Every structure is written in C-alpha cells, then in structure tokens.
C-alpha cells in the first residue's frame, strides 16, 4: 500500500539532519583548537560510531533478558513476522522474546540482514492478532528505514562530546601552545559540554520524528491504522497500571521501545524519545481518513 508522502514531517526531519551535520562540523572545528589533528578527531568519532553499530545492538537484548527463539518455540510469532516481512519486502529478521510483563517491543541490529525484533511476553499476552501485527510492522518499519543506523550516528556525537567533557583533560596534547594549553582545553571542554546538551535534545527530536515515520510505515504494511492505535492505547494503559519499580527497571530502554514507558512528569516533552500517545493516535486517525478516501 502506497501513502502520500508526509512532506511536513519529511522537511522537519531533513531540517534536524542538517542541524546535526552543522553541529558535527562546528564541533570538529572547535576541537581542532584543542587537538593537533582534525583527522584524529574524525577518526575518534568514527570509532565510537562503529563500535556502537557493531556491538550496541547486543546491549538491549541483554538488558531485557531477551533470547533469540526458533519457529518451533514460537511458531505463531515466527509466522507473523515472516508474513509481515514479505509484505514489507524485507529479509526476515531474527526473532527474540524477553520474559517480562511489560508489554513492549523493539528492533535492533546494524543492518537489515542482521536485524532482530524482540517482543516481551507481556506484549504477546495483552494484544490480539491485528494489534500484534501492527506493533511488529512498526518495528519492521524501523528496520526498513534504517533507523538503527541513523540513531547510532546521531548518538555518537553525544557520546563523543560526553567522553571529552569527562576525560578530555587526559588527552590534552598541548595544542594551545605558548602557555595557552589550559585555556584551550577549557574552551574545548566547554564546547563539548554545549554540544553534548544540544545533541541530547536534537537526538530526541529526531527520535520522535522517526517514531511517526515508523507508525506510517506500519500502516503501509498492514493497512490497519486502527489496530496500531488500539495497540498504543492498550500498551499505554497496561504500562500505567504496572508498579513503578518495574517501570524503573526498564526505563533505560525507552529509546528502543515501541512506546515510551516513562509515565512520570519530571521530564518535559522535549526530553521524550517518543511522541505522546494521543499525538500518535491522532496522526493514525488522519491515515485512516486517507485510507477511507482512497
């Protein structure tokens, strides 16, 4: 099923990517005052990005206690992902299950061919067939859009800035010269701190846009926006009824999850990795109206 391109969302997302590129260039320019070689800075960022891309996908599986399962162990789940992958034109990802009552799911991996879709036992218990298909299609849309690679590249800037803020003084090579090493180092650390804060908010803004796009991708695969909206409602309501200690245990996975599990008010919407459930549902209603017209 083909949908009309949401140019407003595409343009906003493009603007965020341009802002990120500008931030990268400015960051490297400032650090060139601190380090003697710009190529060394670029290499450092590349190393951080590559390490996150190659090994970072294993972290969420381990954090959730998820294990890859076979078609014999979970035949229906495998059948669903096989069918949806074919509809999306994707190679079938590995399938994993995490033993927790928290109803959620996530996709991980460094490419379409190495991806894994992990669902929790709570998700399997709380959603019906169409709702489960909708959530699985959302995760496949993340794989299709290469969101794992995009978000890894985005988070690498924040990680590099954080390392310099925390450990930059260890690697000072005296780039300032003539007694100016201390001031040069201070400028580099302050710049890194500013970049760290800015990249934090920009990454979350990009993450929220990617969730909207994955929602649209899920509907293009299943053709059932109502099922995805119902799944969001069910997951949100079930999560809110869970004990706070259970939610805190998995809060570090928010950026990966199908839906943000943070139900507290201590963060503003600018710090969220996901759009508000009501906003996502409203966009799904727009897609449903578009489907009805066609």
Residue that has been written with the tokens 């009501």 in this structure: 278
Cβ(157)–Cβ(199) below 8 Å: yes
Inter-residue contact 261 to 254 (CB < 8 Å) = yes
Q: Would residue 211 show up in a list of annotated catalytic residues for this protein? A: no
The answer to whether the beta carbons of residues 249 and 98 sit under 8 Å apart is no
3-state secondary structure of 173: coil
Question: Taking the CA atoms of the chain, what radius of gyration do you get in angstroms?
Answer: 21
Query: Can you spell out the DSSP letters for 221-278?
Result: HHS-HHHHHHHHHHHHHHHHTS-HHHHHHHGGGTTTSSS-----SSS-GGG-SS--HH
Residue 112 is classified by DSSP as T
Q: Are strands 105-108 and 116-120 parallel, antiparallel or unpaired?
A: antiparallel
Non-local CB neighbours of 51 within 8 Å, separated by 6+ positions? none
Exactly one of 139, 249, 282, 290 is catalytic; name it: 139
Q: Provide the 3-class DSSP secondary structure of residue 74.
A: coil
> Residue 95 phi/psi, 5° resolution?
-115, 130
Question: From the centroid of its chain, how far is CA 87?
Answer: 23
Terminal Cα-to-Cα distance of the chain (whole angstroms): 11
The set of long-range contacts for 7-12, using a CB threshold of 8 Å and a minimum separation of 24, is: 9/209, 9/212, 9/213, 12/209
Q: Which of 213, 202, 246, 73 is nearest to 140 (CA)?
A: 213
Residues recognised as catalytic:
139
């Amino acid at each position: 099923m083909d949908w009309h391109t949401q140019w407003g969302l595409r343009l906003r997302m493009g603007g965020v990517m341009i802002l990120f590129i500008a931030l990268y260039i400015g960051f490297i320019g400032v650090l060139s005052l601190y380090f003697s070689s710009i190529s060394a800075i670029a290499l450092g960022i590349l190393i951080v990005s590559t390490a996150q891309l190659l090994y970072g996908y294993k972290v969420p599986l381990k954090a959730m206690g998820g294990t890859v399962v076979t078609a014999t162990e979970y035949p229906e789940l495998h059948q669903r992902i096989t069918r949806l992958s074919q509809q999306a034109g994707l190679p079938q990802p590995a399938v994993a299950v995490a033993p927790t009552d928290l109803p959620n799911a996530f996709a991980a991996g460094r490419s379409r061919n190495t991806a894994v879709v992990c669902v929790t036992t709570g998700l399997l218990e709380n959603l019906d067939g169409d709702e489960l298909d909708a959530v699985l299609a959302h995760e496949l849309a993340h794989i299709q859009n290469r969101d794992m690679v995009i978000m890894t590249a985005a988070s690498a800037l924040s990680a590099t800035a954080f390392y310099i803020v925390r450990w930059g003084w260890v690697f000072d090579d005296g780039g300032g010269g003539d007694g100016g090493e201390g001031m040069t180092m201070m400028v580099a650390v302050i710049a890194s701190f500013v970049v760290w804060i800015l990249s934090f908010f920009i990454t979350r803004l990009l993450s929220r846009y990617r969730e909207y796009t994955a929602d649209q991708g899920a509907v293009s695969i299943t053709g059932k926006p109502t099922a995805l909206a119902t799944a969001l409602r069910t997951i949100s309501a079930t999560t809110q009824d869970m004990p706070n200690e259970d939610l805190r245990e998995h809060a570090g996975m928010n950026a990966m999850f199908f839906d943000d599990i943070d139900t507290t008010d201590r963060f503003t919407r600018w710090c969220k990795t996901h759009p508000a459930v009501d906003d996502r549902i409203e966009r799904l209603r727009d897609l449903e109206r578009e489907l009805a017209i066609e």
